[in-house]
Amino acid sequence: MGVGLARVIVRELVTGLALGVLLAVLAFPVVRLIWHDGQVAAAVAIALFAACSVASLVAMVLPWIISRFGKDPAFGAGRSRPWSRTCSRS
């Protein structure tokens, strides 16, 4: 049985988008208060939203890609082989 792939994808994307929106909404007034500039606050909010969305997508796709290469999907999240952290720093 299990959970369908489409359901997992939708949940992951919704979670990433919701987290991005939440962080953007929380960051906007703080940045505006500190910098006194709405454009800077908007840029930070958009960047946070985009980063959370992309991070959610990568976290969902990376194990699948690794398994397609015949490796253990846990390889992408392992502490002994921090490939995903190295990749995200590039």
Tally of CA atoms within 13 A in the half-sphere of 35 that contains its CB: 14
Q: Which residues of the chain have pLDDT under 50?
A: 90
Q: What is the pLDDT of residues 39-57, one digit of tens each?
A: 999 999 999 999 998 988 8
CA angle (54 as vertex; 53, 58 as ends), nearest 5: 125
pTM comes to: 0.72
How far apart, in whole angstroms, are the C-alpha atoms of residue 35 and residue 41? 8
